[in-house]
Amino acid sequence: MEHYIYTLAEVEEEKDLGVILTKDLKAGRQRREAAQKAMNVLRTINRHFTRLDKTTFLILYKSYVRPLLEFSIQAWSPSLRKDINCLEQVQRRATKLVVGLGLKRLEYADRLHELGLTTLEKRRLRGDLTETFKIVTGRDKVKMEDFLNAVQVSTTFVVTSSR
């Protein structure tokens, strides 16, 4: 019986299933590529649609741009403020494409409200909370014990004075 010894090569980054994994496990490269692809799609939309109304914008944005920003986000979830801001900047720019509502002069939060959108960061949080709820209530096939340690929390509050 022969034995083989294989040596793994050390690499700086690897792309697997469309997700870039770097040696230091930071999401910067993945974030840059996602933002660049999304911006390219936004430029294409802007070039081919001279006037975007709210309905058309939402269909195009939700179908072609946002999926690029959120692709496999669970695997590389951006936690650094610069990564979050970079992705959010794409959505910021996108919301200015809609004409007829005077959105260009509004603040970002107001544009999101007018369009019925939320920040990408809030979407990720909501998705995490939804998954947690499904696990805790048994609506998911995942066992709660595999992911969460339930702790009994007291609802009694004790207020002490420093005097």
Distance CA 135, CA 131 (A): 6
Q: Could you tell me where the beta strands, DSSP code E, fall in the chain?
A: 13-16, 19-22
- Centre a 10 Å sphere on the Cβ of residue 44 and count the other Cβ atoms it contains: 13
Segment 87-136, tens digit of pLDDT: 899 999 999 988 877 778 889 899 999 999 999 889 888 988 888 888 88
Q: How far is CA 94 from the centre of its chain?
A: 16
Q: Is the pTM of this model over 0.75?
A: no
Could you tell me the CA-to-CA distances from 109 to 55, 84, 103, 124, 159 in Å, in that order?
19, 15, 11, 17, 38
The confidence score (pLDDT) of residue 153 equals 60
Characterize 97-119 residue by residue with b for buried, 16 or more Cβ atoms within 10 angstroms of its Cβ, and e for exposed.
bbeeeebeeeeeeebbeebebeb
Q: Note whether 41 and 64 are within 8 A (CB).
A: yes
Say if residue 71's pLDDT is above 90. Answer: no
Q: What is the 3-state secondary structure (H, E, C) of 39-74?
A: HHHHHHHHHHCCCECHHHHHHHHHHHHHHHHHCCHH
Mean pLDDT of 69-92: 84
Mean pLDDT of 51-74: 89
Segment 12-57, tens digit of pLDDT: 877 777 777 777 777 778 888 889 999 999 999 999 998 888 999 9
